[in-house]
Amino acid sequence: MTLTDTRPVLDVDPFCAEARNDPDALDRAIREAGPVVWIPKYGFWATGRDAEIREIFDDWNRFSSAFGTGMTNVVRDEPWRKPSIILEADPPVHTPNRQVLAKVLSPRALRALGDRLAAEADRMVDDLVARRRFDIAADLAFAFPFKVLPDAAGLKPEGRSHLMPYSTLNFNAMGPKNELYQEARRIVEENGTFAYVTEQMREENILPDSFGAEIYAAAHAGEISHEDAGMLVRAFISAGIDTTVFGIGLTLLSLIERPEQWDMLRADPTLARPAFEEGLRFRAPSPVIGRTTRAATEFAGVHMGAEEKVLMWLSAANRDPAKWDNPDSFDITRRPVGHLAFGTGIHGCVGQMMARLEAESVLKALARKVRRIHLTGTPERIHINWLRGYHSIPVEVEPA
C-alpha cells in the first residue's frame, strides 16, 4: 500500500485471473490494506472490513444503490439493461417494490413451498446416489435451483436454458468490461436470450399459482405498475439463481473437504441450516457489492468525492478477525449469525429465506442418504466477474 494524494492506495486488479484463482489472497489484501483503500486500476474505493461495510449498508442516504451496485454508474453511463427497481433503487422508489417481494416471499408462503422442495431434493439425490459417480456441482447444486426456482416463479419449461447465460451476463456486467463480459454478451446476443427474457416476464406467460402470478396480482391491486411487476419477476430470477447455485456448491465442497464436518451433519441433520450459513460466511458466492457516494463525504478517515464508487468485499468481511473467532476455520457448529453474504439493511437480499430453504432441502436429503462423499477429480472454478463458485465438482458417494 502506498499513499498518493492522501488516498491509501492498493495496486491490485481484483478481477484478473490470478485474483479469481486465489480469492482468499485477494480478500486478505483488501481487508489488511486498511479500512478503505483506493484501487487505481479502475478508480474505485474498496473495503473488506465488517464494521465499515455495515456502516455503508446502513447509510443509503450517503451511499446510494440508485447509481448501480456494480462498477458502472447507471445514471451517468448507459447500462446493458434497464436498472433494477429493487437492487438499483433507493427509497421511495425501492420501498413499494421491496414490500411486494417481501409479501410474495413471506414465511407463510415459503412454508407452503417447503414440502415441494424437500420432495424434489429427495428425488434428485435418490437418482444421483443410484449412479454413485456424478458431478455434484452440475448435477445437484446447479440442477436443483434451476428446477425449483423457475417453477416457483411460474416460468414455462420451454426456454429455461436461457436463464444461465442471462444471469452470467448480469453478474459479469457488474464488473469491468473485460473478456468475461464480452464473451457473456456475445453468447446472449447470438442466442436470442434478451427476447426470451422480455417475453417470459410478461404476465400472459407466467403460470398461475406462482410467485410471478402474485407479483402481477400486486400490480392489479395498484401496489405497483404492470411494468414494474415484470421487472420484479426479472429481478427475482436473475438475482436468485446463480448465487444459490454457487452457494450450495461452495458449501458442499467445504463439507466434502472436511469429513468430520460431514459426519456431524449426518448425525444431526438440523445442522443443515447452520452448515449453509457457515458455508456462505466461509466462501461467499457473491463476494462484492457496490454503492456510490451521493455527494462528497468523509468516511473511515478519507475524503471521497461525489459519485465515487465504493465496492464492499463481503467475502473479506466474512473472515474479518475483528468480527469472527478463527475466521479461516469452517465449522458448522459455529453460530454465523451476522455474516454479510446476503447484505444487510434495507437492501438486504429479499430472497435469502428462499435460498436457505433450497440449500437446507439439498443438505438434509444428502445427509440422510449418503455416508461419505469423495472427490474423484479437481473441482473447476467458474470465471464470472461478480461471483465465485465451481461449475464442476466430480464425486463418488457411498450410500448410507
348 neighbors 98 (Cβ within 8 angstroms): no
The residue type of 211 is F
Q: Report pLDDT for 386.
A: 97
Ranking 77-86, 119-128, 150-159 by mean pLDDT, the lowest is: 77-86
Q: Report pLDDT for 5.
A: 57
Tell me the average pLDDT across 366-388: 98
Q: Is 90 left (phi over 0), alpha (psi -120 to 50) or beta?
A: beta
- Using the predicted structure, report yes or no on whether residue 153 has a pLDDT greater than 50: yes
- Using the predicted structure, report yes or no on whether residue 2 has a pLDDT greater than 50: no
DSSP symbols for 163-191: HHHHHHHHHHHTS-SSHHHHHHHHHHHHT
- Using the predicted structure, report yes or no on whether residue 355 has a pLDDT greater than 80: yes
Give the Cα separation of 376 and 46 in Å (integer).
Answer: 38
Give the Cα separation of 14 and 235 in Å (integer).
Answer: 26
Burial class of 157 by CB neighbour count within 10 A (0 to 12, 13 to 18, 19+): exposed
Domain that holds residue 247: 2-399
pLDDT band at 1 (very low <50, low <70, confident <90, very high): very low
Instruction: List beta partners, residue 398.
Output: 372
The residue type of 87 is L
- Give Cβ neighbours of residue 170 (< 8 Å, ≥ 6 apart): 81, 238, 239
The secondary structure of residue 138, as a DSSP letter, is I
Collapsed DSSP state (helix, strand, coil) of residue 266 = helix
Q: Report pLDDT for 237.
A: 82
How many domains would you assign to the chain? 1
Give the Cα separation of 143 and 141 in Å (integer).
Answer: 6
Give the Cα separation of 119 and 106 in Å (integer).
Answer: 21
Q: Report pLDDT for 185.
A: 97
| Phi, psi (deg, nearest 5) at residue 157 | -60, -35
- Using the predicted structure, report yes or no on whether residue 3 has a pLDDT greater than 80: no
Q: Report pLDDT for 79.
A: 87
- Using the predicted structure, report yes or no on whether residue 315 has a pLDDT greater than 70: yes
Tell me the average pLDDT across 59-81: 95
pLDDT band at 299 (very low <50, low <70, confident <90, very high): very high
Give the gyration radius of the chain's Cα atoms: 21
- Using the predicted structure, report yes or no on whether residue 276 has a pLDDT greater than 80: yes
Give the chain's mean pLDDT: 95
- Using the predicted structure, report yes or no on whether residue 216 has a pLDDT greater than 70: yes
Tell me the average pLDDT across 197-206: 94
Q: Report pLDDT for 223.
A: 97
Q: In this predicted model, what pLDDT tens digit does every residue of 220-270 receive, in sequence order? A: 999 999 999 999 999 888 777 888 999 999 999 999 999 999 999 999 999
State pTM to two decimals.
0.96
379 neighbors 392 (Cβ within 8 angstroms): yes
- The C-alpha cell 466461509 sits at 282
CATH number, domain of 68, equals: 1.10.630.10
- Using the predicted structure, report yes or no on whether residue 304 has a pLDDT greater than 90: yes
